[in-house]
Amino acid sequence: MEAITVNRYIEVICPVCKSKKVIQVPKSVVNQASQLTTISVPQDKICQHHFQLFLDKNFSIRGYQKVDFQLDPEDKKKEKRLKPSYKDHFVDSLDLYQSNKSENNTSKKIPEKPNYRKSKSKFEENFNKKNNMNLGEIYEEFWEFIDDNNEIFRKFIINDKKRRMLLKMRNLTP
């Protein structure tokens, strides 16, 4: 059974940009400290700054300290990878099944053709797609922004059921 933690809410102000936010602090942490409790507030908890705050036994903030340098979180991840964990000893049954299945079907395996085409980014694909659109595709994409009296899109405006429904709804609303 998990112990119930009692929290206190305190308003924290960033010493750099003066952003404010209310955070929870466990009472047990403050009660265990001898005088002041130092709390490290990471980036993106209150704002983009990393800073420390000093809390007394009455949950009053006694001061703040700006952090000049923060170690790269990637370094911490590398350290964790060095420590063995249960995941290192865990056998993924799906991986085991697929590897066993592929060993049994080695004769049926067909090698894939190499892809020599230059891969395009999602933005580039969308950009090229929109620049090569025909009038019908342009109308479908931007129909809400096209004026009812537009001559270029006249035939699409006449045949558009969405636009007619919207026009009827506008006329019904007082």
**Interval 84-136: pLDDT, tens:** 555 555 555 556 556 655 555 555 566 676 665 656 566 666 666 656 777 88
pLDDT band of residue 68 (cuts 50, 70, 90) is: confident
Domain count, the chain: 2
Asked if residue 139 is part of any domain, the answer here is yes
Asked if residue 107 is part of any domain, the answer here is no
Both tokens of 118, joined, read: 């230059």
Q: Which residues span the domain enclosing 57? A: 7-66
Residues paired with residue 7 on neighbouring β-strands, in sequence order: 26
Q: Hey, is 95 helix, strand or coil?
A: helix
Average pLDDT for the chain:
75
Asked if residue 78 is part of any domain, the answer here is no
Last residue of a domain, one of 22, 50, 66: 66
Cα 163 to Cα 56: distance, rounded to the nearest angstrom: 64
Displacement of CA 77 from its chain's centroid (Å): 19
Task: Count Cα atoms within 13 angstroms, Cβ side, for 111.
Answer: 3
Q: What is the reported pLDDT for 117?
A: 60
Asked if residue 46 is part of any domain, the answer here is yes
Q: Hey, is 172 helix, strand or coil?
A: helix
Asked if residue 98 is part of any domain, the answer here is no
Report yes or no on whether pTM surpasses 0.75: no
Q: Are 16 and 68 in contact (CB under 8 A)?
A: no
Task: Count Cα atoms within 13 angstroms, Cβ side, for 32.
Answer: 6
Q: Give per-residue pLDDT as tens, 142-167.
A: 788 888 888 888 888 888 888 777 77
Q: What is the reported pLDDT for 121?
A: 61
Asked if residue 32 is part of any domain, the answer here is yes
**Backbone dihedral angles phi then psi of residue 65, each to the nearest 5 degrees:** -140, 125
Measuring CA to CA, how many Å separate 144 from each of 93, 103, 162? 51, 56, 10
Asked if residue 52 is part of any domain, the answer here is yes
**Backbone dihedral angles phi then psi of residue 150, each to the nearest 5 degrees:** -70, 120
Cα 136 to Cα 124: distance, rounded to the nearest angstrom: 21
Other C-beta atoms closer than 10 Å to the C-beta of 31 total: 10
Asked if residue 142 is part of any domain, the answer here is yes
